Structure 1
């Protein structure tokens, strides 16, 4: 695979990989078909043991081998430091870009000199065929396709940023050792520094990851909801966009109100009717989401989505509550330390 500067701004593709398997081969294959080609492809093999680094070399990528896995945040930073392009385009190892993606990324920055970073979207045809993979990735697609163009966050699976801006702001926070919210945290710092981030809905990539119940719950609760809650409380901001829309917050309140009311029905049977009304309100509020799934996959699929979507609101709300308690306890501990030090 040969790479060369084909536009005014050179695009360096940076991919962190840990035992990427067949999905990584598909990722590299699609990048090779990009037209125009990127300036370079940098693969950071993050302590892999399955030969992903050697595979990337066969595709002509520049490969950096890390002896021990330090997480995608560190791997992306390592790749960014050796990149030569004006634009860093971060892609996950289980993602397929489209032939026109590189051109779309370069054109966006060429046409808007004030643009510091952009993010794309998953497409509506996820790679894995099982229900949970289709549901999760289609929901991600829906959230991005209905989001605001003026973005408040970054996205490591399909996100591009001017190299000088990335280096000036310090790159990804390497304290996040797992695939976590390192991209979201970077987006918050970018916005705080006054940089412009946009969501470009036409830049779409295919996610190949296969989700099951355990991997989905672990990722959503421990790698997303809990650390994101900590970040939100630290930054003291709740933007009405993407996963933080007011409708999502109201949905969490409706669900837990319905559950609590249903418990009261043990002593007061009339409360059961109120609980049912609250669930109806929850369904009506999320009707556009279920209409989307109906259009994409039909009525049976949409009906399957409803309980999983409500479960998502349930564990997201629970994780936020746990995060609030943690934050409160940490605040009390810090206050006590200040009192002790002042004495």
Structure 2
């Protein structure tokens, strides 16, 4: 796992790949196998942080050679990523998920961006995370991957420097020392906004996020209307925490939309019925219906989160 074209800075590794995991052993093993099969990658290490899994993760992964493995009490992905960074020795940290399987040139493409930016500590690389080829993908799944609810890849172009809200920890590489000096905020209770909040702080320091569409991971986590609506409610509640920390982002977080807004359960039920039809039959899919329904769930979570602060 070495490549002579890369200069290593006071470490044998150019990359430290950090993977938080929670109860996804089968998929995690596929991620690790894909990392073993990387092509033209610089020297790298793999660090897995077991965030209190109750399955067989500890026994199965701890037996694999060449992996740094630690278990911690369940504390969420931000805390797990910080733990991984504290163990890392690479020049850059690559974050990926326990359900995102990298393609063969994933690390080579991340490295290409850092090489082209002369290992600038304020240059990060975000790659493309998409659904696996051959998987049944609904119109709703396409929508959340393309237009900003989960990812927003139809909104950006390969090679562009993208805003802080495209800091996707399923597929991003960033300077290790920068992360050590500016860790994830662990007061976010769920996997929601903790990555973007960090990116906002780093953006103020001058971080530039470069999008490389050729650094690809495949997201093995199908979503449906109901599961994603629950997720959006949780994202809204975490948005209240984000707003408390950075009230200047009230517009970005949707706080101003709450002023005088009626929350109509009958309208919500009607939207849900339309969205489910679009999920089932692609010809009936209406992006505006998906957007409105999920925004409603997000704003309800934001409202409830703000009332609890």
TM over 0.5: yes
Task: Give the shorter-chain TM-score range.
Answer: 0.7 to 0.9
Deviation at 1:69, TM superposition (A): 0.9
Q: Where in structure 2 are the equivalents of 1:111-126 lying within 5 Å?
A: 111-113=116-118, 114=120, 115-123=122-130, 125=132
In structure 1, the gaps of 5 or more residues are 264-292, 294-299, 331-343
**Are 2:59 and 1:54 aligned?**
yes
- Which residue in the other structure is 1:310 paired with? 289
Q: How far apart in 1 are the matches of 2:151 and 2:20?
A: 26
Which of the pair has the greater relative contact order for Cα pairs under 8 Å at 6+ separation?
2
In structure 2, the gaps of 5 or more residues are 9-13, 268-277
Q: How far apart in 2 are the matches of 1:79 and 1:193?
A: 23
**Are 2:82 and 1:77 aligned?**
yes
Deviation at 1:81, TM superposition (A): 0.8
How has the CA–CA distance of structure 1 residues 145 and 232 changed in structure 2, closer, same or farther, with 3 Å as cutoff? farther
- Which residue in the other structure is 1:27 paired with? 31
**Are 2:232 and 1:225 aligned?**
no
The one-character-per-residue Cα deviations of 1:248-303 (angstroms, maximum 9, x if unpaired) are: 9xxx9xxx99x99xx9xxxxxxxxxxxxxxxxxxxxxxxxxxxxx9xxxxxx9543
Q: How far apart in 2 are the matches of 1:34 and 1:206?
A: 14
**Are 2:144 and 1:165 aligned?**
no
Q: How far apart in 2 are the matches of 1:86 and 1:133?
A: 35
- Which residue in the other structure is 2:136 paired with? 129
Greater C-alpha radius of gyration: 1
| Contact 1:16/1:46, CA 8 A, preserved across alignment | yes
Query: What TM-score does the superposition give when structure 1 sets the normalisation length?
Result: 0.68
How has the CA–CA distance of structure 1 residues 301 and 106 changed in structure 2, closer, same or farther, with 3 Å as cutoff? farther
Q: How far apart in 1 are the matches of 2:80 and 2:169?
A: 12
Query: What TM-score does the superposition give when structure 2 sets the normalisation length?
Result: 0.75
Deviation at 1:91, TM superposition (A): 0.4
Q: How far apart in 1 are the matches of 2:71 and 2:286?
A: 43
**Are 2:121 and 1:108 aligned?**
no
| Contact 1:145/1:201, CA 8 A, preserved across alignment | no
Structure with greater proportional helix content: 1
